[in-house]
């Protein structure tokens, strides 16, 4: 009985010290979670002395792999370049770009003729020149339709969705961070808050253990355990279990990220459609990406064929006036000028393309139809990469705080 009275007396004598233990453990749990979350995303670039003495956020450091995983998920389950390009109506595209297209045709015709046959062009009566321009303008929409038909039929050979997505996200690491942060916003809040709850419970156990032992090693060990266990458990609870499960017959739990997948799908799909798979980025990839040479060959074949057709009966005269080699150069110049104007011309198609492709609704609908196991692959890579480092850092911080507690109690 004296033993328990002595414990009670010690508890009363050091009341604030004992009561501080669950509080400090809660703070350790919370702070280590905040540090872990920040370490996932910051800094964007490596800070320190490479290769080992320093840190770079896990997501920015693994940007290429994470973007590749995200893209593999999209291309395998969510979106097909053939499908989204197939939604665009060639007649509507021509309608959207008709005005700038015809202006470009007239300007290119005049510029090329001024370079290769200025005297011939000047000698022609105005009426004939206008007739030539009209004929070229009349043929231009048909050429656009033919090129679109070629692109649709051979979309995989001229457009690489994975290259576009990975290149865009690796080149814009803050955007990749934002995609993970916004998609997992509630999960990150839960991870931070869970440190308080789990830490408090562990702090109570720590308090009782200290009461019986007064061992100086208790504080740092419990600090280490609090930092490690709360990090590990919080990450597990975000993704496990995949399906709702009852525990102890009292409460039901499903991994928070999977439970929220309808909401996450809307946020993730909207972000990807707004920032990554946009008509602007798609057109840029088609025109400038690694497969763009194949598109340029298509355009070259169609445009040069049109030049020959429009020259018609006058082709021998034109060839005689400028020479065979210069005639070929003239056709090449027409192609180059046409291609140079394409990015500006296609700007007029972007609003229609956004509506026609309907990328956001496509992504959201298909994301919401995914199984929990498939859906987990969207955010899980952000946690899996070097996850052990985050947990180890949490444990180390907890140990240091425990040592500080011992120092304060003994002094």
Q: Where are the beta strands (DSSP E) in 208-257?
A: 245-247, 251-253
The CA–CA distances, whole Å, from 404 to 15, 147, 202, 220 equal 19, 71, 17, 8
The pLDDT assigned to 313 comes to 42
Tell me which long-range contacts 68-73 makes (C-beta under 8 A, separation of at least 24): 68/162, 68/166, 69/377, 69/381, 70/165, 70/169, 70/179, 70/378, 70/381, 71/161, 71/162, 71/165, 71/166, 72/162, 73/374, 73/377, 73/378
The sign of the CA dihedral 127, 303, 353, 63 is negative
Separation between Cα atoms, residue 293 and residue 286, nearest integer Å: 9
- What pLDDT, on a 0 to 100 scale, did the predictor assign at position 247? 77
Residue identified by tokens 């291309």 is 75
pLDDT in tens, 41-90: 888 888 888 877 888 888 888 888 877 877 777 666 778 888 888 888 88
For the record, the structure tokens of 15 come out as 């009341």
d(CA 194, CA 188): 10
CA angle 144, 150, 153 (to 5 degrees): 140
**Cα-atom radius of gyration of the chain, to the nearest Å?**
33
Which has the closest alpha carbon to 32: 220, 189, 187, 228?
A: 228
User: How many helices (DSSP H) and strands (DSSP E) are in the chain?
Assistant: 23, 4
pLDDT at 345: 85
pLDDT at 125 (0 to 100): 67
Contact 170, 66 (CB under 8 A): no
Q: What share of the chain is helix, strand, coil (3-state, %, to 5)?
A: 85, 5, 15
Q: How far apart are CA 150 and CA 146, in angstroms?
A: 6
Unique residue bearing structure tokens 């916004």: 182
**Joined tokens for residue 274:** 């707004």
The phi and psi torsions of 56 (rounded to 5 degrees) equal -135, 140
Structure tokens at 405: 């507690």
| Of 216, 187, 189, 171, the residue nearest 60 (C-alpha) | 171
Specify the pLDDT at position 355: 92
pLDDT in tens, the chain (411 residues): 577 788 788 888 878 878 888 888 888 878 878 887 888 888 888 888 887 788 888 888 888 887 787 777 766 677 888 888 888 888 888 888 878 877 877 787 777 777 766 666 666 667 766 776 676 777 777 878 888 888 888 888 888 888 888 888 888 888 888 888 888 888 888 888 888 888 888 888 878 887 888 777 877 888 788 778 877 887 788 788 888 888 777 778 888 888 888 888 888 888 888 888 899 998 888 888 888 888 777 777 777 676 666 555 445 555 545 556 666 677 777 777 878 888 888 888 899 999 999 989 988 888 888 888 777 776 676 556 667 776 787 788 778 777 776 666 655
Any idea where the domains of the chain sit in the sequence? 16-70+175-246+370-410, 81-158+265-368
Cα–Cα separations (whole angstroms), residue 67 to 62, 71, 284, 380, 381:
8, 6, 19, 12, 10
CB crowding 352-372: b at 16 or more within 10 Å, else e: bbbebbebbebbbeebeebeb
Whether 21 and 226 have beta carbons less than 8 Å apart is answered as no
């Amino acid at each position: 009985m004296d033993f328990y009275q002595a414990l009670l007396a010690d508890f009363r004598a050091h009341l604030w010290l004992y009561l501080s233990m669950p509080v400090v453990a809660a703070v350790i749990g919370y702070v280590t979670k905040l540090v872990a979350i920040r370490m996932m995303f910051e800094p964007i670039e490596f800070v320190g002395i490479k290769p080992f003495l320093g840190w770079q956020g896990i997501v920015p450091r693994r940007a290429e792999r994470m973007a590749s995983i995200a893209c593999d998920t999209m291309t395998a389950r969510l979106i097909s370049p053939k499908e989204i390009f197939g939604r665009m109506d060639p007649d509507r595209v021509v309608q959207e770009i008709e005005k700038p297209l015809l202006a470009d045709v007239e300007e290119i015709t005049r510029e090329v003729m001024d370079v290769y046959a200025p005297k011939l062009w000047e000698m022609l009566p105005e009426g004939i020149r206008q007739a030539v321009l009209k004929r070229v303008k009349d043929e231009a929409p048909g050429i656009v339709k033919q090129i679109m038909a070629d692109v649709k039929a051979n979309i995989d050979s001229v457009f690489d969705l994975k290259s576009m997505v990975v290149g865009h996200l690796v080149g814009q690491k803050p955007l990749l961070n934002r995609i993970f942060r916004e998609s997992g916003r509630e999960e990150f809040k839960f991870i931070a808050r869970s440190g308080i709850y789990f830490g408090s419970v562990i702090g109570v156990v720590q308090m009782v253990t200290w009461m019986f032992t007064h061992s100086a090693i208790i504080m740092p060990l419990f600090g280490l355990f609090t930092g490690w266990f709360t990090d590990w458990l919080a990450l597990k609870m975000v993704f496990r279990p995949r399906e709702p499960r009852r525990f102890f017959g009292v409460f039901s739990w499903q991994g928070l990220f999977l439970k929220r997948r309808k909401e996450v799908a809307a946020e993730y799909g909207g972000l990807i459609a707004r920032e990554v798979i946009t008509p602007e980025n798609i057109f840029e990839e088609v025109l400038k990406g690694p497969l763009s040479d194949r598109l340029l060959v298509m355009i070259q074949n169609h445009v040069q064929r049109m030049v020959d057709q429009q020259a018609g009966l006058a082709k021998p005269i034109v060839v005689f006036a400028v020479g065979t080699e210069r005639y070929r150069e003239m056709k090449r110049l027409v192609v180059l000028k046409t291609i140079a104007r394409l990015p500006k011309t296609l700007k007029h198609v972007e609003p229609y393309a956004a509506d026609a492709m309907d990328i956001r609704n496509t992504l959201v609908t298909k994301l919401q139809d995914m199984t929990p196991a498939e859906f987990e692959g969207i955010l899980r890579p952000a946690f899996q990469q070097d996850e052990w480092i985050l947990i180890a850092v949490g444990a180390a911080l907890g140990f240091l705080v425990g040592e500080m507690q011992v120092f304060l109690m003994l002094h």
